[in-house]
Amino acid sequence: MVASVHSQAQSNDDDLSSKYSMSKSLSSDNDSLLETSQHERMERRNQRRAQRKAERFQKRQRLLLQEATTRGPFSMVFITLMAGIALSLIDVLYIMRHLDTQHDNSSWSSTNARVKKPTLLSQANVTAMLKAKGPILDLIRDAGISFDPVEDADLLEELPDWADVVKMYGDKPVLYGINEDNCQRFQHQSDPGEHMLGVAGTFNSGTNLMAELLIHNCFMPERLKKYGRRNFGIRWQVPWGKHTPPGDEKYRNEHKSKKDWNVNASEIMPAVTIRDPLIWLKSMCKHQYTARWYRPHPEHCPDFSIKQTTTSIKYADFRRRHDSILHHWNDFYQEYLHVNIPFMMVRFEDLVFHPKEVTTAVCQCAGGQMMNKKFSYIVESAKKGIGAHGKVRTGFVDALVRYGTELKRYNGYNEVDLAFVRDNIDNEIMSLMGYSPVDPLKALA
């Protein structure tokens, strides 16, 4: 039975690989013919334009010539005009000849392009890639995204191998808070009918993605029973502001964002998102939000070779200063680790590679229940609506490509910057969340 299944799977992979080679070859020939046809039409159009331009020029010259001859055949105007006409005719003849030559060369190139065959991946390579990227492809298909190894060959090559993902983040998601009794603590405090689940995290840490996954897949059953069908109990953010540090208890309990004016802060459990600091720093360079720091060379960011690295961040009612933008990452998450409220902390990368498992764990930790339907992936950007921010919108597939390899993690860093990160990063947080240590010798800049 097992051998039969294996044989069938191998046959399917071979069929897909064969389909890939045949379709790619046909597609290449059709593209070459189309390109030749388009190029020939463009050349003929250019020739007609040059001819019309020459005719208009000659007509103007004849009118000027008639006017000049009335003043005498040997006037300076007449002589200058005749010289100009001669030079102009030479220019027109040169242009026409150049277009003919260019057309001949282009036709030769197009003919050769039709003869030249594209380089195709071997059947064995396609089969090996399908196997190495299997869990990634399963995610894509489960999300309802059509994928064909022939039509999406470029994507197949770009996607990381599952082994690369495991090397960076491990084979299971990291869920801080479950083993710290935060789930039981929240579920048994006060009336479960009042409980809600909200999202928190610093800038660019994946808060919108976490919120969308919860909103589309989770609800708080006791709150739904108490307040009716419109009260699912999932909040876009915690009432004190999702990007606001939680250390000040008075501020946390009293401050309310505009949409959360009637939310009791003690009845909401934060789902806190965190992101690999190396990738997060690059995102902060693109979208600073309210963070400000000295950037003498914007194209080199972050730049930790300079002495002035102090960072200032403005919140709704106060401002915070940090030794650097990296230290803001340290300070924000240290506040959550030491705040006296139940919460869960999850990695943004796990929302990409383990979205269903992480969403289910967060939902159930707060006493929630997953909706009785197929899991809803966030295929397009999670940044939308009035509360969204940023112009760059990354889809689910783009995220799978972007965050799956160590090469992209170190991209854009030099050895000096990486040494600063290594020496100043909070190793407690890195260890708790399963992020690999920073190695300056892997600098790519």
Instruction: Based on the fold, state whether residues 347 and 232 are members of the same structural domain.
Output: yes
Partner residues linked to 344 by β-bridges: 271
Together in a domain, 246 and 146: no
Q: Report the alpha-carbon distance of residue 366 to residue 397 in Å, rounded.
A: 29
Residue 363: domain span: 175-442
**What is residue 177's three-state secondary structure?**
coil
Q: Per-residue pLDDT tens for 173-202?
A: 999 999 999 999 999 999 999 999 999 999
d(CA 155, CA 183): 40
For residue 78, pLDDT beyond 90: no
Q: Hunting for tokens 């860093």 — which residue is that?
A: 413
Asked if 388 and 355 sit in the same domain, the reply is yes
Q: Do 211 and 339 fall within a single domain?
A: yes
Q: Please give the helix or strand (H or E) that residue 196 lies within, else none.
A: strand 196-200
Q: Is the same domain home to 145 and 191? A: no
Q: Which helix (H) or strand (E) holds 355?
A: helix 355-365
Contact of 163 with 353, CB cutoff 8 Å: no
Among 94, 152, 115, 90, residue whose Cα is nearest residue 36 = 115
What is the CATH classification number for the domain harbouring 409? 3.40.50
Q: Which residues of 243-260 are buried (b: 16+ CB within 10 A; e: fewer)?
A: bbbbeeeebbeebbbeeb
Q: How many residues does the chain have?
A: 445
Per mean pLDDT, which range of 247-261, 310-324, 379-393 is the poorest? 379-393
SS3 breakdown of the chain: % helix, strand, coil, rounded to 5? 55, 10, 35
Give the residue from 167, 185, 203 where a domain finishes: 167
Q: How far apart are CA 259 and CA 123, in angstroms?
A: 56
Among 77-86, 266-275, 404-413, which stretch is predicted with the lowest mean pLDDT?
77-86
**pTM of the predicted model as reported, rounded to 2 decimal places:** 0.71
Are residues 28 and 127 both part of a single domain?
no
User: Is the predicted pLDDT of residue 89 greater than 60, yes or no?
Assistant: yes
Last residue of some domain: 134, 167, 200? Answer: 167
Q: State whether 416 and 380 are in the same domain.
A: yes
Q: Is 198 helix (H, G, I), strand (E, B) or coil?
A: strand
Tokens 């000049």 correspond to: 68
Residues 143 and 199 in one domain: no
pLDDT in tens, 220-279: 999 999 999 889 999 999 999 999 999 999 999 999 888 888 899 999 999 999 999 999
- Give the pair of three-digit tokens for residue 331: 């300070």
Rounded Cα distance, 177 and 337, in Å: 10
> Could you tell me if 227 and 372 are in contact, meaning their C-beta atoms sit under 8 angstroms apart?
no
**For 8-22, 86-100, 125-139, which range has the lowest pLDDT when averaged over its residues?**
8-22
| 8 Å CB contact between 367 and 346 | no
Please list, in sequence order, all residues whose beta carbon lies within 8 angstroms of the beta carbon of residue 269, skipping any fewer than 6 positions away: 182, 186, 195, 196, 197, 198, 342, 343, 344, 365, 366
Q: Identify whether residues 265 and 299 lie together within a single domain.
A: yes
Q: Check: CB of residue 199 under 8 Å from CB of residue 242.
A: yes
Q: Which amino acid is at 283?
A: S
Q: Are both 109 and 43 inside the same structural domain?
A: yes
CA 125, 126, 129, 134 torsion: positive or negative?
Answer: negative
Tell how far CA 251 is from the center of its chain: 34
Q: How much of the chain, in percent, has pLDDT values that exceed 70?
A: 72
Contacts (Cβ under 8 Å, ≥6 apart) of 273: 199, 200, 201, 205, 206, 207, 209, 210, 345, 346, 347, 348, 351
Tell me phi and psi for residue 394, to 5 degrees. Answer: -100, 130
Q: What is the CA radius of gyration of the chain?
A: 32
Do both 187 and 230 map to the same domain? yes
Distance of alpha carbon 138 from alpha carbon 140, whole angstroms: 5
Above pLDDT 90, what percent of the chain? 62
User: For the chain, first and last CA: distance in Å?
Assistant: 52
Distance CA 314, CA 311 (A): 10
- Asked whether residue 213 falls in the same domain as residue 312, the answer is yes
Angle subtended by helix axes 134-142 and 162-169, to nearest 10: 90
Q: How confident is the model at residue 65 (pLDDT cuts 50, 70, 90)?
A: low
Dist CA 215 CA 172 (whole Å): 23
With a cut of 70, say whether residue 288 has pLDDT above it: yes
Number of domains in the chain: 3
pLDDT tens per residue across span 95-141: 555 444 444 333 333 333 333 334 356 778 889 999 999 999 999 99
3-state secondary structure of 120: coil
